[in-house]
Structures are given as structure tokens and as C-alpha cells.
């Protein structure tokens, strides 16, 4: 979800009011995120809904909006500085990492296996996921390498290929998002590591297609459609001073495997 501009005119929502949402940024970087926030400030947004890349970016973005008198609502965050926020949908980020590790535990059974991780960055919610993965992996699953994509597909592809080459017994690769996982699959295949199983997260159409085709082994889904609608409805309620919880738990993550794909559609 990109940064968004929220105004009180436009298309109807389920909660009985109307709103307009304008995308401000699709750049998967902290710099692009800040540019999006500045754009929304210049357009005099009533509120900014922000799904940030990491906590360090949030620490720069929120003061900009706060200085302009524009409240910020965060999506899928671990939350900080609550007094400076309009509110947040708090994601079970650690739960996502735990589910990924537990899927490997179930799939590997008693076999000794090697696991690699491709994370987005070394910090913020990526660090939370990585710590959860490390804690939840079973004793028979050795974490042999962790690399960072910075949400760049070329970097993901280039990181996956040598990871497979350097570790010929690599059995599983956990990748931060499905978009990065598709690039990593290309890198693995180029290295001849076609049997390495990818476990990822998002639940996008492209990700579910990759599950069905066998390019992915499993993915963790947050139901982004429901999460997005919940975010907009709570933001509008808070702006209008209606009764609503400022900090709300997001949709619980669920894993999707090729054998149970029906549950994810």
C-alpha cells in the first residue's frame, strides 16, 4: 500500500460516508516514501495513511506531517510514538515469521535441512520478522545465510543465486515479499537450484499463481484487501471524532500452501 491522500469527497465506503484517495508514492524506498509524504503535505491532505518500509523511515516521516498539522495513520506496523499518531492497524509481524518457520518445520519433519533468508532491510519490521524466524525454526533447520534485497528485484535475484551456489544443500529460502520471491526464484533456477522451496508472504494474485505452478512452496497472507478497508474506515472515523479504537489489531496472518490453495482465494 503506497502513501495515500485522504479527503472527504469521492467514492462511497461501507461506513456510509464518502472519501477520495490519491496515491502519492509507489517507490519501494525510504527516500520515495518521504517524497510521497511531502507531496501529500503540499496537497493539504486531511490525513496520511502510511505503510512504511521500516521504523527509521517512520521516524523521519511523522515529524514532517506533524509539523504541517496533518495526522498520520500507520498500516501493518509495530507502532511507536503513539502520541504523535492518529492511529494504526497493528500487524502481527512476528506472527508472519513464525508461520513461515513452522511451515518449514512441518514440511521438513525430522530431516536435517538448511534455510536461507532474503529480507528487505536490516532494521524495522524486517528485523522483527527475522528474529521471529530465527526463534521459531526447529533444531533440525540450520539458518545458513541472511541477505538483504532493499526491496529491489535485481538485488533479490543476485543474492539468491550465490546463496544456492555457496550452499548446495540449501533446502528452503524464506523471502520477505512475493515480488522479491519471484526474482529470487529466477536466481535460484539460474544456479540450478530448482528444488529449493521458497516460503514468502503477501497473498497477491501473482503469489498465488506461483503457488499453483509450484514456483513457491508456501506464502503467508494478511488479507490486504480487508486490512486496507479497515484502515480507511478507522481513519475516517477518527477524523470525524466517531467512536473507534486508535490502535487496532490487523487481520491475523494465515499460511497458504499449494495443497490448500482454495482457502487463500
Tens digits of residue pLDDT in 71-96: 888 876 655 566 778 887 777 778 88
Question: What pLDDT shows up at residue 190?
Answer: 96
Rounded Cα distance, 79 and 76, in Å: 9
Instruction: Please say if the pLDDT value at position 111 is more than 70.
Output: yes
Helix runs in 47-176, H state only:
55-67, 93-108, 124-136, 153-166
Q: Is 219 exposed, middle or buried (0-12, 13-18, 19+ CB in 10 A)?
A: buried
Q: Which of 49, 50, 41 is nearest to 69 (CA)?
A: 41
Greatest alpha-carbon span in the chain: 58
Question: What pLDDT shows up at residue 193?
Answer: 97
pLDDT of 162-209, one tens digit each?
Answer: 999 999 999 999 998 899 999 999 999 999 999 999 999 887 788 889
Question: What pLDDT shows up at residue 239?
Answer: 86
pTM: 0.68
Rounded Cα distance, 145 and 150, in Å: 16
Question: What pLDDT shows up at residue 134?
Answer: 92
Rounded Cα distance, 145 and 165, in Å: 12
Of 66-70, 71-75, 107-111, 208-212, the one with minimum mean pLDDT is 71-75
- Which grid coordinates are listed for 176? 520477505
Question: What pLDDT shows up at residue 257?
Answer: 54
Rounded Cα distance, 128 and 126, in Å: 5
- What average pLDDT does the segment 94-123 reach? 90
Using pLDDT thresholds of 50, 70 and 90, give the confidence band for residue 15. Answer: very low
The three-class DSSP label of residue 83 is helix
Backbone phi and psi for residue 71, each to the nearest 5 degrees, phi listed first: -70, 150
Using pLDDT thresholds of 50, 70 and 90, give the confidence band for residue 63. Answer: confident
Name, of 68-82, 143-157, 243-257, the range with top average pLDDT.
143-157
When the pLDDT of each residue in the chain is averaged and rounded to a whole number, the result is 79
Instruction: Please say if the pLDDT value at position 260 is more than 60.
Output: no
Question: What pLDDT shows up at residue 29?
Answer: 66
DSSP state of 264: G
Q: Which domains does the chain have, with CATH numbers?
A: 4-91+223-252 (3.40.50.2300), 93-221 (3.40.50.2300)
Rounded Cα distance, 176 and 65, in Å: 28
Amino acid at each position: 500500500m503506497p502513501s495515500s491522500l485522504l479527503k472527504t469527497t469521492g467514492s462511497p465506503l461501507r461506513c456510509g460516508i464518502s472519501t477520495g484517495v490519491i496515491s502519492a508514492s509507489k517507490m519501494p524506498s525510504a527516500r520515495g516514501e518521504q517524497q510521497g509524504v511531502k507531496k501529500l503535505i503540499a496537497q493539504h491532505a486531511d490525513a496520511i495513511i502510511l505503510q512504511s518500509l521500516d521504523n527509521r523511515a517512520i521516524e523521519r516521516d511523522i515529524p514532517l506531517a506533524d509539523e504541517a498539522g496533518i495526522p498520520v495513520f500507520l498500516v501493518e506496523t509495530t507502532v511507536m510514538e503513539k502520541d504523535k499518531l492518529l492511529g494504526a492497524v497493528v500487524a502481527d509481524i512476528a506472527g508472519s515469521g513464525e508461520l513461515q518457520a513452522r511451515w518449514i518445520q512441518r514440511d521438513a519433519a525430522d530431516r536435517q535441512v538448511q534455510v536461507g533468508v532474503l529480507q528487505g532491510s536490516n532494521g524495522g519490521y524486517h528485523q522483527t520478522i527475522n528474529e521471529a524466524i530465527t526463534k521459531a525454526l526447529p533444531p533440525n533447520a540450520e539458518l545458513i545465510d541472511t541477505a538483504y534485497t532493499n526491496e529491489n528485484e535485481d538485488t533479490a535475484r543476485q543474492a539468491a543465486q550465490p546463496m544456492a551456489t555457496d550452499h548446495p544443500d540449501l533446502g528452503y529460502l524464506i523471502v520477505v515479499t512475493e515480488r522479491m520471491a519471484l526474482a529470487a526464484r529466477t536466481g535460484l533456477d539460474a544456479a540450478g537450484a530448482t528444488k529449493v522451496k521458497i516460503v514468502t508472504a503477501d497473498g497477491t494474485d501473482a503469489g498465488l499463481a506461483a503457488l499453483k505452478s509450484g514456483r513457491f512452496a508456501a506464502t503467508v497472507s494478511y488479507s490486504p484487501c480487508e486490512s486496507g478497508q479497515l484502515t480507511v474506515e478507522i481513519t475516517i472515523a477518527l477524523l470525524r471524532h466517531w467512536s473507534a479504537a486508535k490502535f487496532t489489531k490487523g487481520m491475523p496472518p494465515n499460511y497458504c500452501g499449494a495443497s490448500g490453495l482454495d482457502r487463500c482465494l
